[in-house]
Amino acid sequence: MRNGARRLILFDVDGTLISTQGRAGRALASAITEVLGVSAPMERYRLSGKTDPQIVFELMELCGWPRERVAPHLGRILEAYLSRLDAALPSEHVNVLPGVREVLGALAERDDVRLGLLTGNVQPGAALKVERAGLSRYFEVGAFGSDEEDRNLLVPVARARAAARWGQGFEGSLTVVVGDAEADVRCARAGGARAVAVATGGTPTEVLAALGPDALLPTLADPSVLGALLDGHPGPGTD
């Protein structure tokens, strides 16, 4: 047990905790087709680090649809996506990435750490993915693509929920954002949080390194993971 301030560690979902092997992206594409009658150009678009509403608007922009033409349909598209995701994502198609179960288990045992999600998924989509991965019990709070379309605004949302839940602020580097894409590092910076990048989501290591995250790991199975998440001080009982 350590004295000192508690940390809030916020995990991205896709490419960081789990992989859906493209199933979630295909569910969103087919929802767009269902509602707008347009085939979304997924092959020309990179989803990593984007929020769900941002993905819909940017995909449709590639199809020549201005934002104001898409906006009235966004709610229906996301509803169609969630019902498709439920069917498309049985547990056996959710891959929990290397080291995730072990690191969450180790962090959950510490009384100086609180865990949450920070993801571009809309909240019900994140909940479904995390539940199908068997990881729901670790995450009591989160900030989601349904809170803000701009991921850079999500750290304060997560902090406010954590403060309400645990009665403590997690200012500055007491908040840690863990993610696999450039947008995760940028949103950590925007929120004044520490950024821990993990190269399990398809973004090349050198691209992540160029953004200067506080730590960069090949996977969450790396032996240095607890030190990276806890600012180099894993504390007793964790090595």
The residues that touch Mg ion, with contacts defined as CB under 5 A, are: 12, 14-15, 180, 201
Q: Min. distance of Cβ 174 from Mg ion in angstroms?
A: 22
C-alpha Rg value of the chain to the nearest Å: 18
| 42 alpha carbon, distance to own chain's centre | 20
Across-strand partners of 99? none
Q: How far apart are CA 2 and CA 5, in angstroms?
A: 9
Q: How far apart are CA 156 and CA 220, in angstroms?
A: 25
Q: How far apart are CA 184 and CA 215, in angstroms?
A: 13
Q: Min. distance of Cβ 70 from Mg ion in angstroms?
A: 23
Instruction: Determine the residue with CB nearest Mg ion.
Output: 15
Q: Min. distance of Cβ 15 from Mg ion in angstroms?
A: 4
Nearer to Mg ion, 110 or 129 (CB): 129
Residues 6 or more apart from 130 whose CB is under 8 A from it?
A: 13, 17, 18, 117, 136, 139
State the amino acid at position 24 in one-letter form: A
Nearer to Mg ion, 142 or 234 (CB): 142
Q: Min. distance of Cβ 166 from Mg ion in angstroms?
A: 25
Q: Min. distance of Cβ 103 from Mg ion in angstroms?
A: 16
Q: Min. distance of Cβ 116 from Mg ion in angstroms?
A: 15
Nearer to Mg ion, 147 or 180 (CB): 180
Nearer to Mg ion, 36 or 59 (CB): 59
Sequence-distant contacts of 163-169: CB under 8 A, at least 24 apart: 165/114, 165/140, 165/141, 166/6, 166/114, 168/6
Nearer to Mg ion, 15 or 142 (CB): 15
Nearer to Mg ion, 12 or 147 (CB): 12
Q: How far apart are CA 26 and CA 88, in angstroms?
A: 9
